[in-house]
Homo-oligomer: A and B are copies of this chain.
Amino acid sequence: MSIDWSDITHVTKVDPAEDLPTNLDILDHTDLVIVGGSDGVTEANSLDAIERIRRALPDLPVFQEPYSSGHVSSETIDAVDYLSIPAVYNGDRDNFVAKHVEFFTEIAAKPQETLGAGLPVVGEVIASKGRDAVAQLSEKILPEGYIVQNLDSKAATESGVDEAYTTDQVAGAALATESFYDFPIFYVEYSGTYGGPEDVEAAANYLDDTVLFYGGGIETHEQTEEILDAGADAVVVGDCFHDDPEQFLETLP
């Protein structure tokens, strides 16, 4: 499935370790779902959340954002449109490059274990079929250039972020995404607090081909509009989807 980004202005982040609302119909109003989290997340609850959302809304694009290769299997890969994988610019080395090399080292070394038991397991055939599975996986990977701007958030702690970027650095990271890393998404993450439009404006100025997401503290229609007016392609809403469906509906553009 190829994504038409111009249709996507509202994204919902779903934590598979938390309860989903009984009625998933509220997702009818969002344009994309990203399933991912860290605490308590497993391959099994990720797959369960993905499949429930798929059943309720078959036409809605669904991504998995895995925190480790243990959250991924051939079943989750088959079930989603893309695997979105964050690269945190202002995080520690582990959360930019080391985690990725580790992830792909594991997949390259043991494709049949990482990508599912369905692969042949004898001699040369492993290598050749494993290689195909890896190629298939590669086509589904969507890297995201992230900055985490709320130092008090769990996301900052987990990504080893001890410094928020200045507005100039946000522009630089956006330009590095557009010109150097060529990641399809640049993601300004304020995780749990509303950051306002400044960083989004700074980033939007240097992004043409890159899609710009803003996430963090969005609770009202006005905040959504402010962020979209500042140049973001989409807002990402998370907590209130699980906690407060009424408020979730207020965040729609």
- Interfacial residues, chain A to chain B (CB-CB below 8 A): 85, 87, 89, 92-93, 96-97, 100-109, 131, 134-135, 137-138, 141, 143, 168-169, 171-176, 178-182, 205-206, 208
Contacts and interface: CB of A to CB of B under 8 A. Distances in A.
Give the dominant DSSP class at A's interface: helix
B108 A175 contact: yes
A94 to B, nearest CB: 9
Given A104-B172, A105-B171, A171-B109, A179 B97 contact: no
Contact of A97 (B89, B108, B141): B89
Nearest to A173: B101
B96 A171 contact: no
B100 A143 contact: no
Counted per complex, copies of this chain come to: 2
Nearest to A147: B101
B181 A102 contact: no
Contacts of A143: 180-182
